[in-house]
């Protein structure tokens, strides 16, 4: 076991898989010789060389498409879209090509590509560099979506993603790159479709992702002082989604609060809420509440950004509301 940051966990996962499998290559803007804009991929270029760690020009559609073509021809590219907000200029290659080639071609193609991207607010990076867009990718059949909240989850999920024979969107919240935690030094894979109960409880189920997991856990601590026992469930992968773990928890607690940094309207929480309402209706003692970002772009000013990102107080208020306080 070692203590590592989430960023180090990502680096380590890539390094171990590149050692293991010569078909794994890494590509993206500034990820090679410069080590990545926030240093996440530092050292990999020096270790594996420029043939396997490729600094691309700023042409996302071009190099995301190239990753698709390379994957179709037997390589296993990890391609970085620096900020998920930039997916717009390249989205066709992800959702019309990578996601659909296997199906459209009658099962013949295999696109084992990982698209890593930074997401999330909290660094005052403003509207075009701070979004959470996971629901967009959940909505596309043919791709998988993973979103770690801890170094342990990041390393295991990324190794799974690299080994997966499907295109995987791997979302790294930029404000928790520095979060430290324990993780094994050797390689291990966390399967997709396996949620993690980060905290056990009996009074309410809080489903949270990425940076909101930490906030939900802090909120749960404070709620415990008020005699409320909150269970925090981290889906870890949003597609496939571990419905069973969420439903089992809801059947136990009878109350569900969903927290995500995405805008609420048509966000990932809407899918989880609909699923729970459909499949655990008789177990619910209160309406399902979602604690989310408001329906606006991410603002720049620190005074506004702090209002934008769901706070512990808002999580606690939602819990108290479903408990009828």
Partner 1 sequence: MGLTKEKMVDIYSTMMRIRLFEEKVDELVATARIGGFCHLYIGEEAIAAGMCAHLRKEDCITSTHRGHGHLIAKGGAVKLMMAELLGKANGYCKGKGGSMHIADLDLGILGANGIVGGGPPIAAGAAWAAQYKGTDNVCVSFFGDGASNQGTVHEAMNLASVFKLPVIFVAEYNGYGEFTCQANHQCIESITERAQGYRIPGVSVDGNDVIAVYEAGGEAIERARKGNGPTVIECKTYRIKGHFIGDPGAYRSEEEVASWQAEDKDPIPRFRRRLVEKNILSPKEIEDLNASIRKEIEDAVDFAEKGPLPTPDELLTDVYAD
- Which listed residue (2, 3, 33, 104) binds partner 1 by CB under 8 A? 104
Q: Which residues lie closer than 8 Å to 180 by C-beta, 6 or more apart? A: 3, 4, 5, 6, 151
- Which listed residue (6, 10, 68, 114) binds partner 1 by CB under 8 A? 68
> What whole-number distance in Å separates Cα of residue 300 and Cα of residue 315?
23
- Which listed residue (38, 42, 75, 224) binds partner 1 by CB under 8 A? 75
Q: What is the number of other CB atoms lying within 10 angstroms of the CB of residue 74? A: 9
**Between 49 and 294, whose beta carbon lies closer to partner 1?**
49
Q: Which of 129, 173, 254, 260 is catalytic?
A: 129
Helix (H, G, I), strand (E, B) or coil at 141: coil
Closest CA to 173 of 83, 86, 263, 297: 83
What is the size of the binding site for partner 1 (CB under 8 A)? 45
- 153: its two tokens: 């989850």
Residue 139 annotated in active site:
no
> What whole-number distance in Å separates Cα of residue 172 and Cα of residue 41?
13
**Between 97 and 160, whose beta carbon lies closer to partner 1?**
97
59 binds partner 1 (CB under 8 A): yes
Edge-to-edge strand ranges of the sheet holding 24-28: 53-55, 24-28, 76-83, 114-119, 168-173, 144-146, 237-239
Residue 60 annotated in active site:
yes
Closest CA to 10 of 116, 166, 119: 116
**Between 108 and 227, whose beta carbon lies closer to partner 1?**
108
Q: Which of 17, 60, 261, 305 is catalytic?
A: 60
User: Minimum Å distance from CB 284 to partner 1?
Assistant: 29
Q: Single out the segment in contact with partner 1 by CB under 8 A; choices: 94-102, 212-220, 226-234, 264-272.
A: 94-102
- Which listed residue (7, 13, 71, 211) binds partner 1 by CB under 8 A? 71
For residue 22, give the DSSP letter: T
User: Minimum Å distance from CB 42 to partner 1?
Assistant: 23
First to last CA, the chain: 43
H-helix or E-strand spanning residue 79: strand 76-83
- Which listed residue (15, 37, 42, 66) binds partner 1 by CB under 8 A? 66
> What whole-number distance in Å separates Cα of residue 42 and Cα of residue 34?
7
User: Minimum Å distance from CB 264 to partner 1?
Assistant: 28
Residues 224 to 253 in contact with partner 1, rule: CB under 8 A: none
101 binds partner 1 (CB under 8 A): yes
**Between 111 and 176, whose beta carbon lies closer to partner 1?**
111
> What whole-number distance in Å separates Cα of residue 305 and Cα of residue 39?
24
Assess contact for 108 and 69: CB atoms under 8 A. Answer: no
> What whole-number distance in Å separates Cα of residue 201 and Cα of residue 167?
35
Binding mask 146-165 for partner 1 (x = CB under 8 A): -------------------x
109 binds partner 1 (CB under 8 A): yes
18 binds partner 1 (CB under 8 A): no
User: Minimum Å distance from CB 170 to partner 1?
Assistant: 16
Helices (H), the chain: 6-20, 44-48, 60-72, 91-92, 101-104, 134-138, 151-163, 211-225, 243-253, 268-279, 302-308, 312-322
**Between 242 and 312, whose beta carbon lies closer to partner 1?**
242
142 binds partner 1 (CB under 8 A): yes
Residues acting as catalytic residues: 60, 129
Residues that bind partner 1 (CB under 8 A): 25, 51, 54, 56-57, 59, 61-75, 77, 89, 92-93, 96-97, 100-112, 141-142, 144, 165-166
């Amino acid at each position: 076991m070692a203590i590592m940051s989430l960023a180090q966990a990502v680096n380590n996962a890539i390094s171990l898989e590149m050692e293991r499998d010569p078909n794994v290559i890494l590509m993206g803007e500034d990820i090679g010789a410069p080590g990545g804009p926030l240093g996440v991929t530092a050292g990999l270029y020096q270790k594996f060389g420029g043939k396997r760690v490729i600094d691309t020009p700023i042409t996302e559609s071009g190099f995301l498409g190239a990753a698709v073509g390379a994957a179709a021809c037997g390589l296993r590219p990890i391609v970085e879209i620096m900020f998920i907000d930039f997916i717009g200029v390249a989205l066709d290659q992800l959702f019309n090509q990578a996601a659909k080639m296997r199906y459209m071609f009658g099962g013949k193609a295999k696109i084992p590509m990982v698209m890593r991207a930074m997401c999330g607010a909290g660094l005052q990076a403003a509207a075009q560099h701070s979004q959470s867009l996971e629901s967009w990718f959940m909505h596309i059949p043919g791709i998988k979506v993973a979103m770690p909240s801890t170094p342990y989850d990041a390393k295991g999920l990324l190794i799974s993603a690299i080994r997966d024979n499907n295109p995987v969107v791997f979302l790294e919240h930029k404000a928790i790159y520095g979060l430290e935690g324990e993780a094994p030094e050797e390689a291990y894979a966390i399967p997709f479709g396996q949620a993690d109960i980060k905290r056990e409880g009996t009074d309410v189920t809080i489903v949270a992702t990425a940076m909101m997991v930490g906030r939900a856990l802090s909120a749960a601590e404070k709620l415990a002082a008020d005699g409320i026992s909150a269970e925090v469930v981290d889906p870890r992968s949003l597609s496939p989604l571990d419905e069973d773990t969420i439903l089992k928890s809801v059947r136990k607690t009878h109350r569900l609060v969903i927290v995500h940094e995405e805008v609420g309207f048509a966000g990932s929480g809407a899918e989880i809420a609909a699923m729970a309402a459909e499949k655990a209706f008789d177990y619910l003692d209160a309406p399902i509440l979602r604690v989310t970002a408001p329906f606006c772009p991410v603002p720049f000013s620190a005074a506004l950004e702090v209002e934008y990102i769901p706070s512990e107080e808002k999580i606690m208020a939602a819990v108290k509301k479903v408990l009828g306080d």
